Amino acid sequence: MNLLKDPWLPFRNRDGRIEYRLPSALADPDVLDLALPRADFQGAAWQFLIALLQTAMTPKNTDAWLDRYQTPPSVAELDDLLAPFASAFELDGDGPRFMQDLDPLDDVKDAPVAGLLIDSPGANGIKNNTDFFVKRGRVETVCPECAALALYTMQINAPAGGAGIRVGLRGGGPLTTLILPEDESKPLWARLWPNVMPADAVGQPGQTWRVSKADDSDLFFWMSDTRVSDKKGTEVLPEQVHPLHAFWSMPRRYRLLFDETPGTCDLCGREAATPVRRLRAKKQGANYDGPWRHPLTPYRRLNPKKLDELPLSSKGQPGGLGYRHWPGLVLEDEAGSGALPARVVTHHLKKYHQVEAARDDGEAFDALFRRTRLWVFGYDMDNMKPRGWYSVAMPLVGVPERQQETLRGWAKCFVDLAANISWTLRNQLKRAWFKRPEDAKGDMSQIDAQFFEATQPAFFTALREMGEVLRDDIPSDGAPPTLSSETHRQWYLALKREAMALFDAQAISGPLEGMKMQQLERITSARRYLLAYLNGSGKKVGKTVQTFAQAGGFELKTSLAEENSEGSAA
């Protein structure tokens, strides 16, 4: 099977039909999305198509990028652009195979194909019989189409796997951030192209741009002998490879074994004439080192003062992804928090102002830059063990570069207030639940997760308002831009409302008549403290809320009726 010549990807059409077609179908205006059987496959397939576009038709500069956005290729034109790379995308055969070792690996034992899936139990888990929740034997037969995606997914996300088993170029289980139009009816082409970067921006320092070719082994490692990393000095550094190699990284050594006995794919349910049931894997693949910055992944510096230390890719964490992570995913703050958003994000936010300054038709691209979303997804990994998969869409608010510091400050102020309220809520729930809350053990991160999830719509509403204020740049009177007191007030009220609702739902989990007097007293006391904190009462208890209200220019007023209603709920 050839991944550029055979119809192997399932595309979702505008009318809801799913068809298996060539990758070039992404240029069909009636194609809206992909339809893969697994969430990690879906994210990987999007990255595969972006990588193809980046490899086959990298625009020279931003103007060329915009010209192509206005005039998408036809399916036939895209086929012609991809055709020269077909030899690098053979999945089977005696020659080079897509993302597989050129060596047949005859000296290693065959292993189950399930080893390609990041969420499958490892050899130790099976040996020690600890695969309680993710069972062995779920996947034994895989069609070539799913095998290709499993292979690509593993190579670009490869987690830690033990001595000699190499981690992916951007670290194990990295987050990916993609730019999407807010209008979900846009064709797939219009959703992929914003993630393609011009030649003058896609490379890293030390890399020299050159045209992509199928036989370039600095771009596609599988086109030549394996870069074995069994000795020091064999690390793969950014300046040693093609600027686009990050899209085709290959840390693991695999060979798929195609079976002549037909079978049903355990992943997609389709019949396969030559399925994959076994594979060969070997240690000491490409060992990526140095200052790698994958274009689609955010990074951060653990210590912003130590610029000589390499930044780490951002990864999924327990508690999921939400607006508390938004500043670090969008706003660069290398010297402060150490945040380094994905290069595709920072470049996209700069493009709008380049368009306004350099092109008369800037208004035609208004929706492309003002009404966009950020799709963030990835595994939450504990070394080689996946704890979960996260996927969330957030607004991508772009403002003039000189206003980004202001936006960062506003967003941080709003997020900090939410974090403080969440911390107080969690502590008061512990007081309500336990006689000695300081001794209470256990994970209470779910409280934070529920609170942030409940307040997320309000934050994104406020975020859009921030963007509208700052897009107008500096007011005509020369005064610095200000965010309205009403925006501040509505955010505070949303946090207060959700905190009280969550406390009441969690603290009183059973019938009141069944509770002992001491328990009721604990609940009442904790609720009063939380309410006083949220109302900004007292010099110590409500200082955080008072400070926010003063900075936001609104008064903390609670009517007598509100106080009676809030105080009597417990």
Residue 396 in any domain: the answer is: no
* Same domain (yes/no): 283, 187: yes
344 and 420 share one domain: no
Asked whether residue 119 is domain-assigned, the answer is yes
Rounded to two decimals, what is the model's pTM? 0.91
Task: Please indicate, yes or no, whether residues 323 and 414 belong to a single structural domain of this protein.
Answer: no
What's the whole-number mean pLDDT along residues 426-449? 83
Average pLDDT over the chain, rounded to an integer:
88
How high is the pLDDT of residue 542? Answer: 76
Domain contains 357: no
Per-residue model confidence as pLDDT tens digits over 312-358 = 999 988 878 899 999 999 998 888 889 999 999 999 988 766 665 55
188 shares a domain with 46: yes
One-letter identity of residue 280: R
Taking only the tens place, the pLDDT of each residue in 490-525 is 999 999 999 999 999 988 765 444 557 778 888 899
pLDDT at 126 over 50: no
**pLDDT tier for residue 559 given thresholds of 50, 70 and 90:** very low
Last residue of a domain, one of 349, 364, 398: 349
Greater model confidence, 60 or 173: 60
Cβ distance 334 to 296 under 8 Å? Answer: no
Instruction: Indicate the residue among 330, 349, 368 that finishes a domain.
Output: 349
Please check whether residue 104 is in contact with residue 95, taking contact to mean a CB–CB distance below 8 angstroms. Answer: no
pLDDT digits (tens, 9 = 90+) for 2-45: 999 999 999 999 999 999 999 999 999 999 999 999 999 999 99
The reply to whether 27 and 120 lie within a common domain is yes
pLDDT at 558: 57
Confidence of residue 365 (pLDDT cuts 50, 70, 90): low
25 lies in some domain:
yes
* Distance separating alpha carbons of residues 95 and 93, to the nearest angstrom: 6
Q: Decide if 121 contacts 136 (C-beta within 8 A).
A: yes
How many residues would you count in the chain? 570
The reported pLDDT for the residue numbered 517 is: 76
**Pair 344, 414 in one domain:** no
Which residues pair with residue 393 across a beta bridge? 375
Please give the structure tokens belonging to residue 20: 């298996």
Angle (CA) 62-46-22 rounded to 5° is 100
- Tell me the C-alpha distance between 238 and 235, whole Å: 10
Give the SS3 label for residue 538. coil
Closest CA to 305 of 345, 276, 335, 331: 335
Q: What pLDDT does residue 54 have?
A: 98
Domain assignment present for residue 367? The answer is no
User: Could you tell me if residue 393 is inside a domain?
Assistant: no
Task: Indicate the angle between helix axes 543-552 and 517-535, nearest 10 degrees.
Answer: 30
pLDDT one-digit tens code per residue, 73-82: 999 999 999 9
From the CB of residue 559, how many other CB atoms can be counted at a distance below 10 Å? Answer: 8
- Please report which confidence band the pLDDT of residue 132 belongs to, taking 50, 70 and 90 as the band edges: very low
Query: Element (H or E) spanning 271, and its range?
Result: strand 271-272
pLDDT > 90 fraction of the chain, expressed in percent and rounded: 69
Average pLDDT (241-261) is 97
Pair 252, 166: CB distance under 8 Å: yes
Q: Are 488 and 552 in contact (CB under 8 A)?
A: yes
> What is the distance of C-alpha 134 from the center of its chain?
23
Do residues 474 and 480 make contact, with C-beta atoms less than 8 angstroms apart?
Answer: yes
N-term to C-term CA, the chain: 66
Reply yes or no on whether the pLDDT at 131 is more than 80: no
Local structure of 410: helix, strand or coil: helix
Q: Once rounded to an integer, what is the mean pLDDT over residues 173-201?
A: 94
Q: 461 and 326 in one domain?
A: no
Give me the phi and psi of 156, to 5 degrees please. -90, -10
- Residue 130, pLDDT > 70, answer no
Q: Strand (E) positions, 383-485? A: 385-395
Domain range enclosing 288? 9-349
**Contact in structure between 145 and 268 (CB atoms under 8 Å):** yes
Number of domains in the chain: 2
Q: Per-residue pLDDT tens for 450-497?
A: 999 999 999 999 999 999 898 765 656 567 789 999 999 999 999 999
SS3 181: strand
Which of the pair, 190 or 370, is modelled with greater confidence? 190
Question: Do 84 and 13 share a domain, yes or no?
Answer: yes
The position carrying tokens 């045209």 is: 211
User: Is 121 or 141 the better-scoring residue by pLDDT?
Assistant: 141
Instruction: Determine the distance from the C-alpha atom of residue 210 to the mean position of all C-alpha atoms in its chain, rounded to a whole number.
Output: 29
Cα-Cα-Cα-Cα dihedral of 241, 246, 247, 250, to 10°?
A: 80
Residue 1 counted as domain residue = no
> Same domain for 331 and 460?
no
Q: Are residues 226 and 136 in the same domain?
A: yes
Domain boundary among 349, 377, 393: 349
Residue 443 reports pLDDT greater than 70: yes
Residues 442, 562: one domain? yes
- pLDDT, residue 137, reads 57
Q: And the tokens for 426?
A: 């969690």
pLDDT band at 564 (very low <50, low <70, confident <90, very high): very low
pLDDT of residue 518: 77
* 393-435 pLDDT per residue, tens: 999 988 887 888 899 999 999 999 999 999 999 999 988 888 8
Give the pairing of strands 263-264 and 299-300: unpaired
Same-domain check for residues 123 and 239: yes
Looking at the domain assignment, is residue 359 inside a domain?
Answer: no
